[in-house]
């Protein structure tokens, strides 16, 4: 039997989209005949943004999971400064941070490179070495963020010369949209860039989640190595959509996930406000984590037509999505054309119309167009967004079916993506 070792910080009971990629891929790789071993952090030692016990049902019974201790600077920070919130997604405006927050950001940026979860590495490396030696592992897969996990793969590749190493980078590393908001010194930034290049050059294969991100990483290495960088997008699991759910009588627009000022939804909110003036029965519903800026924005502009619900388990979120009429996807402003959030594919699987806010030429918009799953706009296209919403609301009020009829999205099913990953693994042998 083919044996794979998967190294991932995020694993159930951790919640969020970062968990789902490898819980789902390992599930279907197991069905394809691979024996999967997982090394992850023990939840008693981890610092997760959210937990989701419902994801445990997706762990295939054959998968052997090893959990280790970790030195978590984020936990230490939280215990020392209980009033300070650790930013898990994006970096807030420094002008809005407290003195303690600024100090913490400086420490995180310069003393914990590439990130604050690097304290897990020594424990994970030891566990991986034992499993590789005992089980005669052929292929190791490290997935990030946190990008410090890739340094585990780097260490294992240097010790075990015969293993094949796949570095799976779900997000950009030194090009992530909030990177310039970190408080790196020149020396720290140079070290981070060097580590990134070491991983890209020494991994046998690097997988990314969009073609634009693939081009980005190709530009960072010698052209002779460009063949090793491959795109395997995120996807959706058909098992999560066994029931259709019933739509609400209220025209409901849902945004799922973490949102902050950098997502640039001001024009969208204005478009909803203009639509509400003509059609009262509209609700903009945020499910997940919203920063104070977003909360204040919607409270001011849509006081009676918005709702904010904290993070909910994945199964419950799917039920919410199925009851909506429109789903909002926003790519952070700036040079983020390659960003393709994992939730896009679950959005498409609901067959609800998607409104996507994105920089021009973005991969997410290209996928939406390919799958005929909605429309994409620039962040400030108030009039165009309003016209599309008006069209959908009028059809909804007339009793028409406004769901998406195309089934092109099915090519992004997790079981199909697992086959693509299996093909990469077989090529390494």
Express each pLDDT in 108-120 by its tens digit: 777 788 988 999 9
Confidence of residue 88 (pLDDT cuts 50, 70, 90): very low
Residues 6+ apart with CB under 8 A from 360: 337, 378
Q: What is the mean pLDDT of the chain?
A: 90
End-to-end CA distance of the chain: 13
Residue 243 has pLDDT above 80, yes or no: no
pLDDT value at residue 246: 58
Q: Tell me the pLDDT tens digit for each residue of 41-61.
A: 999 999 888 889 989 999 999
* Cβ-Cβ contacts under 8 Å for 169 (sequence gap 6 or more): 143, 144, 147, 150, 206, 207, 208, 209, 213, 217
What pLDDT is attached to residue 136? 96
CA distances from residue 244 to 109, 323, 324, 392 in whole angstroms, order as listed? 45, 9, 11, 20
Q: What is the pLDDT of residues 331-354, one digit of tens each?
A: 998 888 989 999 999 999 999 999
> Is 70 exceeded by the pLDDT of residue 79?
no
Helix (H) or strand (E) holding 164: strand 164-169
Task: Let me know if 7 is exposed, middle or buried by CB neighbors in 10 A (0-12, 13-18, 19+).
Answer: buried
When pLDDT is averaged across residues 268-296 and rounded to a whole number, the result is: 95
Task: Give percent of the chain with pLDDT exceeding 90.
Answer: 77
* pLDDT band at 406; cut points 50, 70, 90: very high
- pLDDT, average across residues 186-211: 95
Res. 381: pLDDT tops 80: yes
Q: Is the model's pLDDT at 234 over the cut of 70?
A: yes
Instruction: Quote the radius of gyration of the chain (alpha carbons, Å).
Output: 22
Note the pLDDT of residue 335.
80
Nearest to 241 by CA among 99, 67, 415, 424: 415
pLDDT confidence tier of residue 285, bands split at 50, 70 and 90: very high
| Residues 260, 295: Cα–Cα separation, whole Å | 9
Region 229-254: what's the mean pLDDT?
86
pLDDT of residue 286: 97
| pLDDT for res 247 | 64
pTM of the entire predicted model: 0.88
Encode 287-324: b = buried (16+ Cβ within 10 Å), e = exposed. Answer: bbbbbebbeebbeebbeebbebeebbebeebbebbbbb
Percentage of the chain surpassing pLDDT 70?
Answer: 91
pLDDT greater than 50 at residue 84: no
Q: Are 353 and 327 in contact (CB under 8 A)?
A: yes
pLDDT at 95: 59
The whole-angstrom separation of Cα 266 and Cα 330 is: 11
The residue-averaged pLDDT of 55-82 equals: 81
Instruction: Please spell the DSSP secondary structure of 110-156, one letter per residue.
Output: HHSSS-TTGGGHHHHHHHHHHHHHHHT--EEEEEESSTHHHHHHHHH
Write down the pLDDT at residue 97: 63
What is the predicted pLDDT for the residue at 50? 83
């Amino acid at each position: 039997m083919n044996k794979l070792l998967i190294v991932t910080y995020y694993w159930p009971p951790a919640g969020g989209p970062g968990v789902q990629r490898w819980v789902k891929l390992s599930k279907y790789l197991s069905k394809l005949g691979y024996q999967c071993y997982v090394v992850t952090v023990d939840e008693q030692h981890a610092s997760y943004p959210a937990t989701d016990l419902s994801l445990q049902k997706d762990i295939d019974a054959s998968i052997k999971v090893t959990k280790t201790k970790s030195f978590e600077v984020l936990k230490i920070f939280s215990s020392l400064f209980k009033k300070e919130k650790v930013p898990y997604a994006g970096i807030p405006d420094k002008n809005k941070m407290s003195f303690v927050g600024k100090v913490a950001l400086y420490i995180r940026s310069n003393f914990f490179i590439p990130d604050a979860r690097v304290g897990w590495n020594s424990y994970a490396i030891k566990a991986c070495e034992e499993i590789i030696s005992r089980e005669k592992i052929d292929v190791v897969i490290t997935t990030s963020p946190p990008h410090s996990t890739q340094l585990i793969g780097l260490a294992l590749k240097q010790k075990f010369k015969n293993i094949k190493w796949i570095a799976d980078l779900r997000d950009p590393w030194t090009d992530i949209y909030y990177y310039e908001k970190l408080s790196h010194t020149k020396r720290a930034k140079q070290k981070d860039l060097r580590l990134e290049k070491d991983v890209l050059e020494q991994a046998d294969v690097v997988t990314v989640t969009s073609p634009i991100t693939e081009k980005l990483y190709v530009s960072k290495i010698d052209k002779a190595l460009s063949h090793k960088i491959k795109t395997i997008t995120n996807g959706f699991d058909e098992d999560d959509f066994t029931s259709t759910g019933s739509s609400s009588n209220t025209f409901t627009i849902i945004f799922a996930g973490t949102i902050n000022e950098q997502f640039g939804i001001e024009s969208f909110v204005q478009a909803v406000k203009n639509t509400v003036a003509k059609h009262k029965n509209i609700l903009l519903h945020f499910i997940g984590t919203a920063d104070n800026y977003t909360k204040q924005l919607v409270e001011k502009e849509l006081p009676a037509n918005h709702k904010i619900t904290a993070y909910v388990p994945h199964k419950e979120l799917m039920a919410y999505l199925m009851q909506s009429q429109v789903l909002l996807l926003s790519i952070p402003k700036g040079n983020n054309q390659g960003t393709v959030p994992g939730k896009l594919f679950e959005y498409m699987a609901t067959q609800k119309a998607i409104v996507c806010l994105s920089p021009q030429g973005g991969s997410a918009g290209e996928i939406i167009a390919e799958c005929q799953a909605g429309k994409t706009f620039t962040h400030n296209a108030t009039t165009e967004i309003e016209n599309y919403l008006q069209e959908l609301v009028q059809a909804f009020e007339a009793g028409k079916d406004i769901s998406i009829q195309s089934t092109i999205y099915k090519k992004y099913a997790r079981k199909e993506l697992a086959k693509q990953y299996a093909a990469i693994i077989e090529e390494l042998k």
